[in-house]
Amino acid sequence: MVSIPEYYEGKNVLLTGATGFLGKVLLEKLLRSCPKVNSVYVLVRQKAGQTPQQRVEEVISGKLFDRLRDENPDFREKIIAVNSELTQPKLALSEEDKEIIIESTNIIFHCAATVRFNENLRDAVQLNVIATRQLILLAQQMKNLEVFMHVSTAYAYCNRKHIDEVVYPPPVDPKKLIDSLEWMDDGLVNDITPKLIGDRPNTYIYTKALAEYVVQQEGAKLNVAIVRPSIVGASWKEPFPGWIDNFNGPSGLFIAAGKGILRTMRASNNALADLVPVDVVVNMSLAAAWYSGVNRPRNIMVYNCTTGSTNPFHWGEVEYHVISTFKRNPLEQAFRRPNVNLTSNHLLYHYWIAVSHKAPAFLYDIYLRMTGRSPRMMKTITRLHKAMVFLEYFTSNSWVWNTDNVNMLMNQLNPEDKKAIQVGFSFVKITAKLFSPHPELFQGFLLFVLNITYNTYTFIQDEERKGLPWQSSG
């Protein structure tokens, strides 16, 4: 079987979501590990007055691409930014771009999605379901398409406790839902959303389940693979340890804990914390596309990119490692010494919220007022609570994911690919315990996320930093 870099040699890849967390890591890794790939079409929309080309230039000028710039300075020539707003009819592609894409694309990686848990249903359906369908319809016209790789989430079927590597029946027929949304006004949509999403916690997960079904049904004649990551966190190794550029998921809460602001959270000590590093997800996606491209499996291939079944790691352990690491490496200007109580007891939780979050914030705001400064801590705490509520469901429950396809994929890799495109979980165990035995990960995390260790790195933009609860200026 050809190796992974050999498979990608001369291929034209189409990537959505290249300006996002996962997409940019995938773009970097593809160009670094498979330098003979012919070109990568990145579908990017205009945003904040920037053209897609300017946005891509910004992404590839970032720290994440330092290593690639060193190893393969000509990589820029391979990236072709294509203007595309995925929520528009026909993805808003120009006729010319559409023709080129249809003629030349060999492999698609569909990463773009709205990952906001509280997205209103109409918008979540528009991007996660309708845009996915539009991309599939475009893929059907492609003359040389070998693989359609769809990035989903391991929680798409979180209403089940045991999740196999199959696409389950959807909660509702996506076509019927799309038709209904056309005539419903926003008020009605909001009213029926809780009923529709049923035992799923949010519109994001609900629409990702619908998207999988659309991919399976509409992509029946395509060679489709689905990778389902659980909670994607900072990189394990590549391009350097600890790389991350967002505060989705638990990363923001870790830092709030380190700052001594987060003192309690609704979580079960024994619930599985299924965290997977972004580079492992990317590597698995590249390898899964390679496998489907080379072997042309008869059925859709689904990969549960999770760690819990093979390397169980619990929220109680996460809390222990995070707190003990921050005690050893205190953050500057911490509000208090880090200490967190996880509890699944309703009364206890509200007690701790009042005593250890609200009361100190209230008093601190009085102190700020008395010293002529604007109060900000209550506002910070309110924002923190909102972020916590979104995560509670995941920190209080556990799931068992079957990973047979993942294990099969690992066994298919030749020794060089195993080294270069690591998808295995033996090391994820180490990663999961990222803060304790691997201080370089922790330092990487601080370096890239918080810009704490070296002020010269300005990875997080000022605007983003202002958005963090503990940076609020009142």
Ligand X SMILES: NC(=O)c1ccc[n+]([C@@H]2O[C@H](COP(=O)([O-])OP(=O)(O)OC[C@H]3O[C@@H](n4cnc5c(N)ncnc54)[C@H](OP(=O)(O)O)[C@@H]3O)[C@@H](O)[C@H]2O)c1
Report the phi/psi class of residue 341: left, alpha or beta, with left for phi > 0 and alpha for psi in -120 to 50. beta
Give 162: exposed, middle or buried? Use CB within 10 Å, 0-12, 13-18, 19+. exposed
Minimum distance, C-beta of residue 26 to ligand X, in the bound complex (Å): 9
Number of H helices, E strands in the chain: 21, 13
In terms of CB distance, is 181 or 331 closer to ligand X? 181
In terms of CB distance, is 19 or 343 closer to ligand X? 19
The one-character DSSP state at 354 is I
Minimum distance, C-beta of residue 88 to ligand X, in the bound complex (Å): 8
Residue nearest ligand X (C-beta atom): 20
In terms of CB distance, is 149 or 265 closer to ligand X? 149
Minimum distance, C-beta of residue 86 to ligand X, in the bound complex (Å): 4
Collapse the DSSP code of 44 into the 3-class scheme (helix H, G, I; strand E, B; otherwise coil) and give the result.
strand
Minimum distance, C-beta of residue 307 to ligand X, in the bound complex (Å): 13
In terms of CB distance, is 51 or 310 closer to ligand X? 51
Q: Angle of helix 404-412 relative to helix 278-295, nearest 10 degrees?
A: 70
Minimum distance, C-beta of residue 153 to ligand X, in the bound complex (Å): 4
Alpha-carbon Rg for the chain in angstroms: 22
Please check whether residue 200 is in contact with residue 209, taking contact to mean a CB–CB distance below 8 angstroms: yes
In terms of CB distance, is 92 or 400 closer to ligand X? 92
In terms of CB distance, is 267 or 353 closer to ligand X? 267
Minimum distance, C-beta of residue 320 to ligand X, in the bound complex (Å): 22
Structure tokens, 34: 């498979």
In terms of CB distance, is 241 or 338 closer to ligand X? 241
Largest alpha-carbon pair distance within the chain? 72
Minimum distance, C-beta of residue 193 to ligand X, in the bound complex (Å): 19
Q: How many residues does the chain have?
A: 474
Residues forming contacts to ligand X in the complex (CB under 6 A) are 17-23, 45, 47, 85-87, 111-115, 127, 151, 153, 208, 229, 231-232, 246, 248-249
Minimum distance, C-beta of residue 444 to ligand X, in the bound complex (Å): 18
- Give the list of residues 6+ apart from residue 105 with CB closer than 8 angstroms, or none: 12, 13, 14, 41, 139, 142, 144, 145
Give 465: exposed, middle or buried? Use CB within 10 Å, 0-12, 13-18, 19+. middle
- Give the list of residues 6+ apart from residue 33 with CB closer than 8 angstroms, or none: 4, 5, 286, 420, 421
